[in-house]
Amino acid sequence: MSYVIPLWNPPSLAVAGSIARFPVRNIYCIGRNYAEHAKEMGGDASKEPPFFFTKSAHAIMPDGGAMLYPLGTKNLHHEMELVVAIGAEGTRVAAPAALALVYGYAAGIDMTRRDLQQAAREIKRPWDFGKNFEQAAPIAQIVPASQCGHLARGKIWLEVNGAMRQQADLADMIWNVPDAIAFLSQYYTLYPGDLIMTGTPAGVGPLVAGDKVRGGIDGLGEIQVHIVAGK
């Protein structure tokens, strides 16, 4: 097949123990999936069904590294998250069968232009400018579920310049992985290559040029990002 412009390289992530990579198709993100984070953002997610927003696959930043401070914002925030990599197709999947769709898991950060997100929320417009931009999704290597099992609990944390900012347990999620997959699959057919970012615990906060960010999840390892001055 030929194209009228050069074809870009498909976004992909490293896989632990393999030289083959995981191609990324869609990124679905759960908003306010930890009660304490919902409170710090002015809500009570325990009384609501889950809601989702999306990031472009081209927003991924494989393995972290140097991140340019993004355009158009003066309030960049970190949000540490468990990332679920989908390896099988599924539509209207029941929660007890949902884990059969999971290829593996990774540690990731949902970078957010908070000022743009809040401005959009106040006038009831989409969050795209706040959530979907270049390098908005630093994600570490995927660990196959065959190696790490299916994660329902374990420490999730993030520190900036050596100071702890976020620390919780995956068991604190309001909507666990099977329930999140089941809910999302009522609205979208999930395909191999899709990612689900499962929400962040409390402690989100601002980042500036020069900050060194390090986060991790028990059983999955770490992701590190160095914020550098933007364009």
Question: How distant, in Å, are the alpha carbons of 83, 101, 204 from that of 114?
Answer: 21, 32, 10
Q: What is the pLDDT of residue 43?
A: 58
Q: DSSP letter string over 176-195? A: -HHHHHHHHTTTS-B-TT-E
User: Per residue of the chain (231 residues), what is the pLDDT tens digit?
Assistant: 899 999 999 999 999 999 999 999 999 999 889 876 556 555 555 657 888 999 999 999 999 999 999 999 999 999 999 999 999 999 999 999 999 999 999 999 999 999 999 999 899 999 999 999 999 999 999 999 999 999 999 999 999 999 999 999 999 999 999 999 999 999 999 999 999 999 999 999 999 999 999 999 999 999 999 999 977
Contact 82, 107 (CB under 8 A): yes
Closest CA relative to residue 142, chosen from 101, 102, 176: 102
Buried b (16+ CB within 10 A) or exposed e, 1-39: eeeeeeeeeebbbbbeeeeeebebebbbbbbbbbbebbe
Report the C-alpha gap between 55 and 24 in whole angstroms: 11
Report the C-alpha gap between 61 and 12 in whole angstroms: 9
Closest CA relative to residue 45, chosen from 205, 198, 218, 207: 198
pTM: 0.95
Domain boundaries, the chain: 12-228
Q: Which residue has the tokens 């290829």?
A: 103
CATH fold for domain 12-228: Fumarylacetoacetate hydrolase; domain 2 (3.90.850)
Question: How distant, in Å, are the alpha carbons of 55, 90, 154, 202 from that of 38?
Answer: 20, 29, 20, 8
78: enclosing H helix or E strand: strand 76-78
Q: 66 in helix, strand or coil?
A: strand
- Joined together, the tokens standing for residue 67 give 């991140």
Q: Which residue has the tokens 């539509």?
A: 91
